[in-house]
Structure 1
Amino acid sequence: MDDIDRVIINQLQGGLPICERPYLEAARVIGIGEEDLIARLSQLLARGILTRVGPLFQIERMGGAFTLAALHAPEDRYDQIAERVNALPQIAHNYKRTHELNMWFVIATETPDEIDRVIGRIEQDTGCAVFNFPKSREYFVEMKLRVRE
């Protein structure tokens, strides 16, 4: 990662401009070309330095739902279970944890009722009980991480 990549990461954490050509506007602020910015973002994603570039939505305001869920995956089947869970389009994130409930994931659906259907599908596909931890309160934490230059 070079100095320009660091500037890109630091600059874009505040979001992309809302306009017809957001990458062009962002590139101007950074001092590079639009094509260079897009190519660098693609490289950062391909190398796993970035995992995602995109907006965050309050899905409930759009009629959807999300929840945090967890299950216990036996170590000898962990990868197989993770593959089945991650294959579902409603799975947004999946994390391995050192805990009895060793697989934690976020389920995002178009309707609240769909959460239970996805949980049922995961239980059927994996043979593991899924524990649902829905959000009980909304918090806004604006955390920006700076990459040292």
Structure 2
Amino acid sequence: MHCQSQDFDTLDRRLIDCYQRDLPVCSRPFHAMAERLGASEEQVIERLQRLETLGVLSRVGPVFDHALAGASLLAAVAVPEEQRDAFAELINQVPGVNHNYAREHHYNLWFVMTAAEERSLDERLTQLETTLGRTILRLPMLESFHIDLAFAIPWAELEGI
């Protein structure tokens, strides 16, 4: 769905501007957001759901420092292209799998897997190799880089579009 800037009122815009990062860490984050924005918790939740439905937001949630939260790694597997979706479904069923995506490469399915500790991560990957009948390329992170994906939205400039 294609949205125009005029489709967003002040509350929508403030939600987008204020919470691309720094979501409140508390038992009721939407309530804390609502207090800051002068809205109700229900309004904030409804707006976030609407923005997600419109395709403006892809997700609302925290980004964890995986090194502090357990073990994780990037993994890749080469599967027959005509069976890629079926293999992807098998991978998606494994606990801790996220960011599963196709690439145009010999290794054509890539995913991130997380677990509480290295031993569990290795066990899950080994079991998945057995399930898939394929060797999984394991790419542990050697160095961490923080990429800030928050963007300043030039609302005034968008008005004429």
Q: Distance in 2 between matches of 1:113 and 1:51?
A: 32
Unaligned runs of 5+ in 1: none
Give the C-alpha shift of residue 121 in structure 1.
1.8
RMSD (Å) for aligned C-alpha atoms: 2.2
Q: Distance in 1 between matches of 2:18 and 2:102?
A: 30
TM-score (norm 2): 0.78
Select the structure of larger CA radius of gyration. Answer: 2
Select the residue among 62, 81, 96 that pairs with 2:102.
Answer: 96
For the 8 Å contact 1:11–1:30, the answer to whether it is kept is no
1:55 aligns with 2:59: no
Distance 1:101 1:39, change over 3 A: same
Distance 1:12 1:59, change over 3 A: same
Q: Distance in 2 between matches of 1:40 and 1:72?
A: 41
Give the C-alpha shift of residue 139 in structure 1.
1.9
One-letter amino acid of the structure 2 residue matched with residue 3 of structure 1: F
Q: Which moved more, 1:65-74 or 1:51-60?
A: 51-60
For the 8 Å contact 1:91–1:107, the answer to whether it is kept is yes
Count of aligned residue pairs for this structure pair: 148
Give the C-alpha shift of residue 82 in structure 1.
0.4
Higher relative contact order (CA 8 A, sep 6+): 1
1:3 aligns with 2:8: yes
2:159 aligned partner: none
One-letter amino acid of the structure 2 residue matched with residue 112 of structure 1: E
